[in-house]
Amino acid sequence: MKQLAILGASGHGKVVAEAALASGWDGVDFYDDAWPDKRRLGKWVVSGNTMALLKTLSRFEGVIVAIGRNPIRIDKIALLQEAGARMATIVHPAATISASALLGAGTVVMAGAVVNADTVTGRGTILNTSCSVDHDCVLGDGVHISPGAHLAGDVRVGKLSWVGIGAAVCQGVTIGCAALIGAGAVVVDNIANDLTVVGVPAKRILNGFEPSKSV
């Protein structure tokens, strides 16, 4: 029996579990650091916390971290890999992945997502529902491309960055590390590290106000 451990018992965890079961895993076991206060996630039992999972890794053919916060997800993946966990990559059967795309360990690809030729993702990437990542994109560790967001070709996204729901990133743009692209934003220029940008075209936020010029 092909059993998967999922660290992170949340709404995102539910979607990951259903994608895993649809893609051929026989069963899933949940773990979460809110245990023992949190003992169930819908129809699933939460079996323990991170330490409990580390003690039972040999039971599982694969492990996936289903935590939405990018830095925490990457830290947990690093911890599990150091302990010898077999990090799974989950691709929903309703996603379309180019044969030349390379998905990093711990990546999850949800239903309706499209990943085109020669795209490369780092560890722990989330390619969420109905997003698209076009040819020759490179995504760093811990990137999250939200539902309905679209990256044109040759886009670079630095580690731990988040592209919000419905956002669009134009051809050849580079987004730095730990950047946040707001929902519905249209990114037409490069974005530096650690910036939050919103709007059409995307502009950076400074102290809660938007400057007049594009980033």
Alpha-carbon distance of 20 to 102, in angstroms, equals 19
Would you call 135 a catalytic residue per the annotation?
yes
DSSP state of 46: B
Assigned CATH class of 89-215: mainly beta
In this predicted model, what pLDDT tens digit does every residue of 3-14 receive, in sequence order?
999 999 999 999
CATH 2.160.10.10 occupies which residues in the chain?
89-215
> How much is the pLDDT for 205?
84
Q: How far apart are the first and last CA of the chain?
A: 51
113: nearest Cα among 147, 142, 140:
147
Given 92, 135, 144, 150, the catalytic residue? 135
Query: Thinking of the domain 3-88, which architecture would CATH place it in?
Result: 3-Layer(aba) Sandwich (3.40)
In this predicted model, what pLDDT tens digit does every residue of 28-87 receive, in sequence order?
999 999 999 999 999 999 999 999 999 999 999 999 999 999 999 999 999 999 999 999
Q: Are 187 and 206 in contact (CB under 8 A)?
A: no
**pTM value surpassing 0.75:** yes
In this predicted model, what pLDDT tens digit does every residue of 134-183 receive, in sequence order?
999 999 999 999 999 999 999 999 999 999 999 999 999 999 999 999 99
Residue 184 has pLDDT above 90, yes or no: yes
Beta strands 44-45 and 40-41, pairing class: antiparallel
In this predicted model, what pLDDT tens digit does every residue of 196-211 receive, in sequence order?
999 999 999 864 444 4
CATH 3.40.50.20 occupies which residues in the chain?
3-88
Residues with Cβ within 8 Å of 207's Cβ and at least 6 positions away in sequence, in order, are: none
